[in-house]
Structure 1
Amino acid sequence: MSLNLAIVLETGAASRPQHTALIHAARRMTYSELNQAANRCADGLAQLGVHAGDKVAVMLPNVPEFVTAYFAILKLGGCVVPLNTLLRASEIAYQLEDSDASTLIVDESAIAEAQQAALEVETCRHLIVSGGEAPPGWHLLSEVVAAGASEFDTAQTTADDTAVILYTAGVSGHPKGAELSHFNMFYNAALTADRLCGLGDRDISLAVLPLFHAFGQTCVMNATLYAGGTLSLLPRFEPDRVLQVIQRDQVTVLIGVPTMYWYLQHYPGAEKYDWSSLRLCCSGGAALPVGLMKQFEERYGLPIFEGYGLSETSPVVSLNPTDKPPRPGSIGQAVYGVQVKIFDEQDQELPLGEVGEIVIRGHNVMKAYYKRPSATAEAMRGGWFHTGDLGRMDEAGYLYVVGRTRDFLIRGGLNIYAREVESVLLAHPGVSEVAVVGIPDEVMGEEIKAYVVLEQEEAVDAEDLIEYARKRMAAYKYPRYIEFRTELPKDTTGRVIKRLLSEAQ
């Protein structure tokens, strides 16, 4: 069966050529213009010597060039390898080499790191920069596109061919590349648009999540284009700018991470903007505090529907149904065609309500970790993808994440899930954000420490907070140490990087 993910753009270009496909600042592109730009880019890449099956790394922010290059590579029959725009030279070099990338397309803002990385990877032969001036041996993306023809015969890839390699966060060791097929990516986008969010051609989605990440790619870019809607591109999250763009473009759909909603909730000037066009807000990438969920709805008049996913699952696994009020604290129910179970350490299914590892089977699960058969076999034991996340399921099939399989402490021989302690502390009215880690202790093995960000203008001392937790949980679970921070270290998806907190001990 032939299938190319580029069909989500090509269908729009054929059925609604003059409809606005994307907006970026003062720039607008119709579906016809965007498709022709992707055709020119595909043909230009082919003229450089990029072939079907080649891996092409794309290191661009949320700008029209990202969308153009993404679909150009797919049209060519290549595989897109999105790179985080904040990577350093050694990290870029690692992912270029590990993915066998023949080509790198990078934004001018990251050219210094990219140049250094390219020197270390001889197999990356085609080097392209978007914006600015091309260094010796490099090509300008604008010239590559200008050299191409506006018509291009899209490669007839199969449904199981690899469309994208997404590198995981790398919680231990080097990041691994998750191979996602054209069908993985296409069906996850179609499912998001049709069954989950009810997207249509009148929707305008704010693309402020990084498009190099699975969440932004599938749930914002691909789902919106599949539905024939409009993408409003914003390269960087700033609450004032987000609200400006929502008002300017009459954005209807906002999909983000909890950190974004936190900043919007605490932004003092929100009331001067008109956000009445918004009809849907969804969150993923990290746990959404129940308090934030309630506060946001009180201020903006919109519930936030929390979901769950991973790079390895294209990414959507579950979502709170958007036709009924969301269940606070839950990541929702498994989406259509996806099975989710809770396994114990022996890979046996646990009864409802018991905590174990979340495992997944369905159309969304990756083909493999690229060039890592052992890691793939370990993750896919018994035909189920093992997420490494701990959770439980209730009688109605709603899922609740408790923590990571490695995100627990052993204090005096007793296991303590960090998420459980964090949930108690987040219920305190003066607490905005929390991250709990274990610190070495001579007597207990590990002791519990909480890093806390307070709500604005709140005055809470450590002893009061410890006492608050002590009254609400078992004696062995409450934190013995509190450290106040103005912010917590986070990755681009808004997930707290606990490793950095642990290393600070």
Structure 2
Amino acid sequence: MLNLSTCIQESARKYPTRTAYVFGETELNYAQINGAANQVANGLVAKGIKPGDKVALSCLNLPYFPIIYYGILKAGAAVVPLSVLLKKDEIAYHLADSEAKAYFCFIGTEDLPMGKMGYDGFQQANSCKDFFMVMPKPEMPSSIEGTQTLGSLMNGQSPLFDTVQTGAEDTAVVIYTSGTTGKPKGAELTHNSLLQNAILSADLVTMNTDDTVLIVLPLFHIFAMTVLMNSAAYRGAKSVLLPKFDAESVFFLLQEHKVTVFAGVPSMYWGLLHYTDDKFDYAQIAANLKICASGGAALPVNVLEEFEARFKVNILEGYGMSEGSPVVTFNQLDLGRKPGSVGKPVWGVDVKIVDAEDNEVPVGEKGELIYRGHNVMKGYLNRPEANAETLKNGWLHSGDVAVKDSDGFFFIVDRTKEMIIRGGLNVYPREVEEVIMQHDAVSMVAVIGIPNERRGEEIRACVVLKPGQTISEEDLIAWTKERIAAYKYPRQIRFMDALPMSATGKILKKEISRD
């Protein structure tokens, strides 16, 4: 038997008074976090949540996230983490598709009204029975009259709970990822795969109980969830939470808390590198930093080299995907590293490069990266066709084109899927196209990724208007922005007379100029 919440439970047993999470002026130790998670578990059980049920969670990087996350796991249920940027229709889709029985949603801010969006989405999802608004302070009533709060769920519940003994192969988390259909699919990750990935991630970044980890990557994203939150909980390290990236705030926290471990996506390293205010002691920040990690998209070699030179620290780049819990390969200190490479397979994972018939290709030749091991998902929730396509003969087919060099290092060179990776977040073009096509003026659209120094890729929509119709670039961007998560809407619109087509009528995106 195995339950991923053991990470927090064991650290609470061993290091009860050690600080687990820092947020602003608030510091909570492991005993407090574990006790609060137990109250959530007791509350969920009282509401009728049973082992195997799904419970959704939308929350910024606040101590509430791990409290609710581990509370759901303790009750034997599976967590469905949702992007905080989703709009109501997207939330309704995720709740219905995951068959979530309950939904925790942070109230949000004026700029990001998550609570209202979440409640509107919840009302559209008939299978989801309970909605809990997460307020800034537990004693606050909900901002929406008549709705329950996290505080009301926890109120009067015992801080002791006998954790449900789940099986190692039971689903712990359903993480949503874009797929070939354009509709997000829920990858079922087990207690075993997530725990093993957390343990090996802690080893990869040499994390220990004395470390202080800065978590600015969103906790709903598998990278932050596994490599930072679960790894730190497993090791008993201190985590400093920051809800939104901006270089000044990051440097302040790096200095204030003597942060030793930092992980980010390429756009974050770019932002830190281009921040030049002299108000911080960069030499001291560099002296404290022990290691950095990068993932989510390829880190430009010049950014890696300049950052390492300035802060005298190694950035270890890796490759992963939601379906792999996430880490598949990593530049590892004991095996050497190569800038531009995503390293070598992590412990217990086999990786190879294959052709269209799944035959391994020679060293140096391009092919699809496939892998197998403890990290591979059980499958996509209720998606037998997608599973048959992705999971073949025990190997997960990534859809990424890679090469392996003669030293065994892997390099990602292209994607067979059309996925756009903007600032480390996956955007599937078809999902954006389907929204834009709903506009009365639009006849046809092709969404592509274009190179962007800061974000890795930026989103451009190439639009053909219906005869006689007009709309400005600004208006179409604003219209789309209202209907889709903020990281998905196109920042550029190019109006075209026609899109390049194949003989079978398929849009040839590779022939569309990226200039």
Under a length normalisation based on structure 2, what TM-score does the superposition of the two structures give? 0.79
Secondary structure of the equivalent of 1:272? coil
* Structure 1: distance between partners of 2:198 and 2:334: 19
Question: In the TM superposition, what are the counterparts of 1:379-418 in structure 2 within 5 Å?
Answer: 379-407=390-418
CA contact (8 A) 2:342 2:412 kept: yes
Asked if 1:183 corresponds to 2:192, the answer is yes
Give 2:152's aligned amino acid: E
**1:206 paired residue number:** 214
CA deviations over 1:434-470 (Å, ceiling 9, x no partner): xxx9xxxxxxxxxxx9956579xxxxxxxxxxxxxxx
The range that moved more, 348-357 or 130-139, is 130-139
The CA distance in 1 between the partners of 2:151 and 2:22, in whole Å, is: 18
**Could you give the per-residue CA deviations for residues 377-411 of structure 1, whole angstroms, max 9, x where no partner exists?**
11011211000100000122100000101459xxx
Single out whichever of 350-359 and 42-51 deviates more from structure 2. Answer: 42-51
Structure 1: which amino acid aligns with 2:268? M
Matched, 1:9 2:8: yes
Q: Following superposition of structure 1 onto structure 2, how do residues 106-125 of structure 1 map, counting pairs within 5 Å?
A: 106-109=105-108, 110-125=114-129
Which whole-Å deviations, capped at 9, do the CAs of 1:305-351 have from their partners, x for residues lacking one? 11010000000001111246631110000001100000111111111
Find the aligned partners of 1:242 and 1:171 in 2 and give their Cα distance. Answer: 36
Q: Secondary structure at the match of 2:333?
A: coil
Pick closer, same or farther for the CA change 1:406–1:157 going to 2, 3 Å: closer
Gaps of 5+ in 2: 109-113, 422-428, 430-447, 455-479, 482-486, 497-515
1:150 equivalent among 156, 159, 165: 159
Cα distance in 1 between the residues matched to 2:267 and 2:81:
22
For 1:413, the equivalent position in structure 2 comes to: none
In structure 1, how many angstroms separate the alpha carbons of the residues matched to 2:449 and 2:87? 30
Q: How far apart are residue 146 of structure 1 and its match?
A: 2.3
Distance 1:85 1:407, change over 3 A: closer
* 1:84 aligned partner: 83
1:242 to 2:253 alignment = no
Query: CA separation in 2, counterparts of 1:349 and 1:452?
Result: 30
State the 1:137 CA deviation.
3.9
| C-alpha contact 2:4 2:192 (8 A) present in aligned 1 | yes
What is the Cα-based RMSD across aligned positions, in Å? 2.5
The letter of the residue matching 1:399 is F
Q: Which residue of 2 aligns with 1:230?
A: 238
Provide the rounded CA distance (Å) in 1 between the counterparts of 2:45 and 2:415: 44
Partner residue of 1:105? 104
Post-superposition CA distance 1:400-437 (Å, at most 9, x none)? 000101459xxxxxxxxx99xxxxxxxxxxxxxxxxx9
Question: Which residue in the other structure is 1:251 paired with?
Answer: 259
In the alignment, the residues of structure 1 paired with residue 9 and residue 319 of structure 2 have an alpha-carbon distance, to the nearest angstrom, of 29
Q: Tell me the residue number matched to 2:509.
A: none
Aligned to 2:371: 360
Match of residue 360 from structure 2: 349
Shift of 1:116: 1.4
Counterpart for residue 72 of structure 1: 71
- Counterparts of 1:398 and 1:499, CA distance in 2: 35
Helix, strand or coil at the partner of 1:147 = coil
What is the CA–CA distance in structure 2 between the aligned matches of 1:124 and 1:503, rounded to whole Å? 40
Question: 2:224 is aligned with what amino acid?
Answer: G
Instruction: Please tell me whether the aligned partners of residues 255 and 280 of structure 2 are also in contact (alpha carbons under 8 angstroms).
Output: no
Aligned pair 1:141/2:150, yes or no?
Answer: yes
Distance 1:499 1:343 in 2: 34
Matched residues in 1 for 2:400 and 2:495: separation?
24
Q: Any idea what SS the aligned residue of 2:344 has?
A: strand
Contact 2:252 2:280 in 1 (8 A): no
> Counterparts of 2:334 and 2:493 in 1: how far apart (Å)?
41
Whichever residue aligns with residue 397 of structure 1, its letter is G
Residue type of the partner of 1:187? Answer: Q
Is the 8 Å Cα contact of residues 342 and 359 (structure 1) preserved in structure 2? yes
Tell me, yes or no, if the aligned pair for 1:379 and 1:385 is still in contact at 8 Å.
Answer: yes
Tell me the TM-score normalized by structure 1.
0.81
CA distance in 2, matches of 1:450, 1:80: 31
Whole-angstrom distance in 2 between the partners of 1:450 and 1:145: 44
Give the total of aligned pairs: 430
Using the alignment, how far apart are the partners of 1:500 and 1:367 within structure 2? 36
The structure-2 alpha-carbon separation of the partners of 1:451 and 1:271, relative to structure 1 and needing over 3 Å to count, comes to farther
Native 8 Å contact 2:180 2:417 kept in 1: no
> How far apart are 1:502 and its partner, in Å?
8.2
Q: Which amino acid aligns with 2:127?
A: T
Cα gap change, 1:370/1:499 in structure 2, threshold over 3 Å: closer, same or farther? farther
Partner Cα distance (2:490, 2:361) in 1:
30
8 Å contact kept, 1:318–1:331? yes
Structure 2 distance, partners of 1:207, 1:101, is 27
Partner of 1:43: 42
Offset at 1:501? 6.0
TM-aligned CA distance change 1:270 to 1:166, over 3 Å? farther
Matched, 1:127 2:131: yes
Q: What is the Cα deviation at residue 265 of structure 1?
A: 0.4
- How far off its partner does 1:51 sit? 2.1
Q: Could you tell me how far 1:49 is from its partner in structure 2?
A: 2.4
CA change 1:452–1:122 in 2 (3 A) is closer
Q: CA deviation at 1:46?
A: 1.8
Distance in 1, Cα, partners of 2:80 & 2:332:
31
Aligned CA distance change for structure 1 residues 270 and 188 (closer, same or farther; 3 Å): farther
What is the aligned counterpart of 1:282 among 293, 297, 304? Answer: 293
